[in-house]
Copies of this chain bind each other. A is one copy, B any other.
């Protein structure tokens, strides 16, 4: 007997939501029932052009949405009645407010990294702790930065053990679609050290000794992380390269091949035809991978718009127990989206 197809909704059709919706439609064990939002502009109209059913996340917005030409299929509550699981991609903090709705409707829900760990049963990065999400009702896919940290540091930690890791995050200040986010000409530090990304990584890699510091800079296309890691045992550069090569969703890029900055890696993904030029993998600059007698270093790029997209798909599979093996789910998602590994 064929497995039933999981019915999925996406609440919040912004930077993450629209990508997750598209990714769901590519899975053969899932079906996108519809998306829900409160906006009435080109973004939601594009959803309709794609054939997605559009629901209204706030009843009082329905009139405005209709007036602007959006065909509204119903309310968020209506959508919740039709799905097994809702992926909440609303802005930070709204997810927590939505949780009672999901509880009332009896649907499982995935939240994004803007929500607190406390509101879920597990924070999630597929290759690190897939098992923790198995069968759970509420799971949080961690933020883009935390996902990048967990994928790479997690790969070293699992294989060799990490004594301590220090990371400085140079963050983008706005997304490409935005016209108002700045700064235009400044570096804006997060003045409290350690910054929040370290503790956040510990929600996935529970025993990791990590310190992070961060700033934001005038770019829209990616974050860059500078990693300084003390391993539990001496590592060679080849050990690092092998660990990254073996791990899923990490990809090495050489500056010598022209990948001299975040913009070149994005351009490559434009060239190979990635939807929206998305970089679902974690790029690491191969030349930056270095070791000393007691330390390891690398620089990596986190595409803030895209890296969590495959994680959301895997989280669905774990929570609905469509697949109990992390590797099988990851392989399935990768195949559907077109990742090599």
Contacts and interface: CB of A to CB of B under 8 A. Distances in A.
A186 B257 contact: no
Interface in A164-193: 166, 168, 170, 172-174, 176-189, 191-193
B42 A264 contact: yes
Contact of A258 (B43, B215, B285): B43
A215 to B, nearest CB: 6
Q: Decide if the interface of chain A is mainly helix, strand, loop or mixed.
A: mixed
28 contacts: A18-B271, A49-B272, A166-B166, A168-B226, A170-B217, A173-B182, A176-B185, A176-B263, A176-B266, A176-B267, A177-B267, A178-B184, A179-B263, A183-B263, A186-B263, A188-B262, A189-B299, A191-B287, A191-B288, A193-B226, A193-B288, A193-B297, A193-B298, A194-B297, A211-B295, A211-B297, A215-B226, A270-B276
A162 to B, nearest CB: 15
Given A68-B257, A176-B185, A192-B290, 12 more contacts: A41-B258, A42-B264, A46-B271, A174-B182, A179-B183, A179-B186, A187-B219, A187-B261, A189-B255, A193-B299, A213-B228, A273-B275
A218 interface: yes
A174 B221 CA distance: 15
Query: How many chain copies does the complex carry?
Result: 4
Contact of A178 (B68, B191, B263): B263
A45 interface: yes
A298 B181 CA distance: 26
B184 A42 contact: no
Interface of A: 18, 39, 41-43, 45-46, 49, 68, 166, 168, 170, 172-174, 176-189, 191-194, 211, 213, 215, 217-224, 226, 228, 253, 255, 257-264, 266-268, 270-273, 275-277, 285, 287-288, 290, 292, 295, 297-299, 301
